Amino acid sequence: MNSLVCAVRAGLLALCLATGAANASVVIAGTRVIFPAKDGEVTVRMTNQNTTPALVEAWIDSGDAHSTPDKVSTPFLITPPLFRMEPNRDQSLRILFTHSEQPLPTDRESLFWLNVLEVPPKPSGPQFQGKNYLQVAIRSRLKLFYRPAGLAGDPIKAASALSFKAASAAGLGALVVHNPTPYYVTLSQITVSVGGTSHKVDTGMVAPLSDLRLAISDLKQAPSAGSTVQYNCINDYGSDVALKGTVLP
């Protein structure tokens, strides 16, 4: 088993990082994982929608997109970490909080990433004998938000609490987004209306109790105060929520 794991990591992980166009057979329920600290564990459901089995490996990292299971150190345990998924079957991953060498903040969320690596079985049959073929391993990477107990406010309403200020840098307009809440807010789409023209703004994720500067690539000056900001945020359930704001003076 160890040699198989090493082969997967060494030969296929790098490949899967560069194959975003491939379609995964193992489908994960949801687009993010919310981990309430008071529960101590969460369950993530997966389904193998293919007619062939798959080898699946799962791990959690703290932000390194090139992480591997043997080099990560996070306060979580996944069970099972490595398993075979039969075709058209479901599998549950249990994620448990163990301990942290450095205590996690208690006044805001902490961000981690759940990785699920799917390796298809080796093709069999006479049509493959003596022929070259390419196997692609697919890695899914989902945000995992560790949510301490007793945080102020409602996470569902966090996106509506964002505020916007005008800025400029290097000859381009920008918006500074302020998040006064203890929750991460992911902006999937944002535009600002200046002089009757809508300008597309870069997107991103605003950390708790923090600011995020977003460039407006087709606007040469800072947007004026009172300009309308239309933005979409992704909530706990993976749904896109449309909201509206105003550029502050």
Mean pLDDT computed over 65-71: 92
Model pLDDT, residue 112: 98
Summary mean pLDDT of the chain: 88
Q: Within this chain, do residues 35 and 51 fall inside the same structural domain, yes or no?
A: yes
**Domain span holding position 11:** 2-147
Domain boundary among 147, 181, 209: 147
User: Is residue 101 located within the same domain as residue 181?
Assistant: no
Q: How far apart are CA 45 and CA 31, in angstroms?
A: 11
pLDDT at position 127: 58
- For the chain, what is the domain count? 2
DSSP element (H, E) containing 169: strand 163-169
Give the pair of three-digit tokens for residue 153: 């406010």
| Domain limit, last residue, from 123, 147, 171 | 147
Alpha-carbon distances, residue 104 vs 67, 74, 218 (angstroms): 21, 11, 40
- CATH number, position 188: 2.60.40.10
Same structural domain, 29 and 120? yes
**Which tens digits make up the pLDDT trace of 146-166?**
999 999 999 999 999 999 999
Residues 141 and 166 in one domain: no
Q: 130: pLDDT confidence band, cut at 50, 70 and 90? A: low
Residues 131 and 178 in one domain: no
pLDDT in tens, 20-58: 345 678 999 999 999 999 999 999 999 999 888 999 999
The model's pLDDT over 222-248, given as tens digits with 9 standing for 90+, comes to: 999 999 999 999 999 999 999 999 999
At residue 24, the pLDDT reads 77
Which domain-ending residue is among 147, 165, 195? 147
Residue 200 CA to residue 222 CA, distance in Å, equals 13
Higher pLDDT, 169 or 1: 169
**Strand pairing category for 240-248 and 163-169:** parallel
Q: pTM for the full model?
A: 0.85
When pLDDT is cut at 50, 70 and 90, the band that residue 3 belongs to is very low
Question: Do 233 and 142 belong together in one domain?
Answer: no
50: CB partners within 8 A, 6+ apart: 25, 26, 87, 88, 120
Percent of the chain at pLDDT above 90? 74
> Is the same domain home to 64 and 16?
yes
- pLDDT attached to residue 137: 83
Q: What is the pLDDT of residue 17?
A: 41
Query: Do 26 and 140 fall within a single domain?
Result: yes
Of all residues in the chain, the percent with pLDDT exceeding 70 is 86
Q: 200 and 106, same structural domain?
A: no
